[in-house]
Amino acid sequence: MTEQKQKEKVRIGRSNLVVGLTGPFGSGCGEMRKVLEVLGFHPFKISEDIRKELKGQEKLIVKGKPNWRKVLQDRGNEMRKESQDYWIKKVVARIDKEEIGNRKIVVDGFRNFQEVQEIRKIYPNFFLVAICAQKNERWQRVKNDYEGRYNEFERDDRRDRSEDYDWGQSVQKCVDDADYVYYNNENFLVYPQGKEEPNSDKIKRTLKNQADDFVSLMPGITDHRGPHPEEVQMAAAYAQSNSSKCKKRHVGAVITITQDSREFPISMGYNENPPHVPTCSELQICCKDEDMAAKLKARGKDICCPSCGTRQKDLSEPWTCSECSENLKECLYPSRNMELCTAIHAEERAILSLGGRIVKGGRLYATTFPCFQCARLILDAGIGKVVYVEAYPMKETTEFLEKNGVEVVPFTGFTARAFFRVFKKVN
């Protein structure tokens, strides 16, 4: 192939519709990739390149082997540390070599936020789809891959969620940045003797239904459907989050009431310090993180990794175990020190803005999952339903809200990032 033809091939490829898949492992990204392949998408997996570079170590990454996922995570991080776009360049090179023409593309396996930003620069028609599921359901789907080693699953899941450096795993941030979110929950077969196992046929059907929804809208086909009411309200919540100056996470919330079958927003909020208290962006520190770091540093060599038992010698940022790479901050501080956060949370600010008004049966839309403290305020305000976007919802908070009559529903649909790309204004 001549150089000119190769350049033209690459140029055409850059205009293709590209769907990236992200989400906690066990949620169903692999199944969604297969669904999209049937719908005409050309499939690629980022992990294929990682596995190729582990040539000679194939036995270590066989599912079921102890630490098989850790080996993949370590290698992924190692090369991203050298070059942030290392794996993106690999997968894009493979795409460019394929005879794809105008076909749509699906890239599975985004686990790093910076990689998402890199591929957005390359493909203008890129959409990130997040597939999430409850933790217990994910465990049921992958427990054979771990041969029942739940502690190893927990460790890998904590690491997958968030590592405190740019080249690490950061699925939570990827989900926060998604253009479309779907929660692949409640797909179990229950047998008379009480045994449960994933219902593969139902999972495929529901994923196919979701793919039909978002694939039709992504190319800009305006007559497919308009935005659902939940998408409109969640877009408003995302808009609020843009006002936040938090260093860790920007969160927005909207409270609505329903009148004559129509939903109206009555209060909004975003996470931010109280007035006259400098923001963490201005201070360039996160108070709760500083506290965790100080405590970890003070304990030093007294810390033994809860996962592998290794006594730490020279513990320092990013506070990971020297043996198994366990995130010690996540492990030793599961609440992430939220009780020391100086900000008023988005849900809290939206409720305070009600001025003491009780909104019996109102709805709260939040771009993350409410903490336990906010859950108490939600109950106090009479809110009857919480709609959230979150890859790793807190089980205790869910149970508390549901036990007290609040419906807790994960959001499905287009987020604010894609809202005006797929929904055109009606004149």
Query: H/E/C letters for each residue in 289-300?
Result: HHHHHHHHHHHH
- Reported as a pLDDT band with limits 50, 70 and 90, residue 188 is low
Instruction: Assess contact for 193 and 395: CB atoms under 8 A.
Output: no
Question: In this predicted model, what pLDDT tens digit does every residue of 403-423 receive, in sequence order?
Answer: 999 999 999 999 999 999 999
The whole-angstrom separation of Cα 217 and Cα 129 is 13
H/E stretch holding 363 reads: strand 363-366
Beta bridge partners of 327: 320
Query: Domain segments of the chain: what residues?
Result: 3-217, 229-272+343-409, 284-339
pLDDT at 4 over 90: no
CATH code: domain 229-272+343-409 is 3.40.140.10
Per-residue pLDDT, averaged over 124-129, amounts to 96
User: Which of 71-80, 127-136, 418-427 comes out lowest in average pLDDT?
Assistant: 418-427
So what's the architecture of 3-217 in CATH?
Answer: 3-Layer(aba) Sandwich (3.40)
What is the pairing mode between strands 262-270 and 363-366? unpaired
The whole-angstrom separation of Cα 305 and Cα 327 is 9
Question: Measured in Å, how far apart are the chain's first and last C-alpha atoms?
Answer: 49
- Reported as a pLDDT band with limits 50, 70 and 90, residue 315 is confident
Residue-wise DSSP of 115-157: HHHHHHHH-TTEEEEEEE--HHHHHHHHTTTTTT-HHHHHHHH
pLDDT in the model for residue 427 = 47
Residue 103 CB partners (closer than 8 Å, separation 6+): 16, 40, 41, 42
pLDDT at 7 over 60: no
pLDDT in the model for residue 191 = 46
Mean pLDDT of the chain: 89
The whole-angstrom separation of Cα 47 and Cα 31 is 15
Question: In this predicted model, what pLDDT tens digit does every residue of 130-169 receive, in sequence order?
Answer: 999 999 999 999 999 999 999 999 999 999 999 888 999 9
Instruction: Assess contact for 269 and 349: CB atoms under 8 A.
Output: yes
Per-residue pLDDT, averaged over 29-47, amounts to 96
The reply to whether 3-217 and 229-272+343-409 are identical in fold is: no
